């Protein structure tokens, strides 16, 4: 089926290139609004052949990557901002508006590392708030301090929960994209 097809050159990139730079610059973030979700799922399933080498090679250090977002009118509209305000927001989140962005990112790294160190050895996390009540296992997982070396803007900690352990609910108060687990099993 054509929806599952991954072009050979694209697969070759993920399996053989040393690195990848991705610049997101959507002109229309709702371009798939009218597309059948079942067809979108089939397309995503077909691209899983790219995900496995990407993750394995990234973890092994043989595939370097960085992704960033270029501010566009579409992203500004999604954020209910003018384009100028959204540009300022993105550049500030990247710390490029600071006198010494490298020092800023080192500070972010140190601050986040304290949380990473705290989480090591923990087994369970519960997130509770007015828009969420989630419980998930992090037992045996590796924690990644995403401190400006991959995604930009950045500033996150990735605990990678045990996939089948997520239980609870989240209420999104803004438009978002939903990605179901690869098993096709949606958590409650």
Q: What is the pLDDT confidence band of residue 144, given thresholds at 50, 70 and 90?
A: confident
Residue 188 inside a domain? The answer is no
143 and 169 belong to one structural domain: yes
Percent of the chain having pLDDT more than 90? Answer: 53
109 and 29 belong to one structural domain: no
113 and 75 belong to one structural domain: no
Range of the domain at 122: 95-174
Neighbouring-strand partners of residue 158: 144
Number of independent structural domains in the chain? 2
89 and 101 belong to one structural domain: no
106 and 33 belong to one structural domain: no
102 and 86 belong to one structural domain: no
- pLDDT value at position 149? 82
pLDDT at residue 5 greater than cutoff 50 = yes
Nearest to 94, CA basis, from 61, 67, 127 = 67
Lowest mean pLDDT across 5-19, 62-76, 82-96, 139-153: 139-153
Question: What is the pTM assigned to this prediction?
Answer: 0.73
- pLDDT value at position 133? 96
- pLDDT value at position 177? 55
* Cα 70 to Cα 21: distance, rounded to the nearest angstrom: 12
Is residue 143 within 8 Å of residue 157, measured between CB atoms?
yes
User: How many CB atoms neighbour CB 71 within 10 A?
Assistant: 19
- Tokens 């090679």 map to which residue? 57
For 112-125, write each residue's pLDDT tens digit.
999 999 988 999 99
Residue 185 inside a domain? The answer is no
70 and 136 belong to one structural domain: no
Last residue of a domain, one of 93, 122, 155: 93
* Cα 40 to Cα 4: distance, rounded to the nearest angstrom: 10
88 and 11 belong to one structural domain: yes
pLDDT at residue 129 greater than cutoff 90 = yes
126 and 42 belong to one structural domain: no
């Amino acid at each position: 089926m054509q929806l599952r097809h991954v072009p050979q050159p694209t697969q070759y990139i993920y399996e053989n290139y040393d690195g990848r730079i991705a610049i997101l610059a959507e002109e229309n973030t709702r371009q798939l609004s009218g597309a059948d979700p079942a067809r979108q799922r089939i397309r995503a399933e077909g691209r899983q052949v790219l995900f496995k080498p990407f993750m394995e090679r990234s973890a092994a250090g043989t595939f370097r990557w960085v992704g960033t977002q270029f501010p566009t009118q579409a992203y500004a509209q999604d954020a209910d901002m003018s384009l100028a305000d959204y540009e300022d927001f993105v550049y500030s989140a990247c710390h490029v508006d600071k006198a010494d962005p490298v020092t800023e990112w080192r500070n972010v790294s140190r601050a986040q590392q304290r949380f990473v160190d705290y989480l090591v050895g923990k087994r369970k996390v519960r997130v509770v708030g007015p828009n969420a009540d989630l419980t998930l296992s992090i037992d045996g997982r590796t924690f990644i301090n995403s401190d400006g070396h991959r995604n930009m803007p950045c500033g996150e900690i990735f605990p990678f929960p045990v996939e089948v352990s997520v239980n609870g609910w989240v209420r999104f108060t803004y438009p978002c994209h939903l990605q179901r687990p690869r098993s096709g099993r949606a958590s409650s």
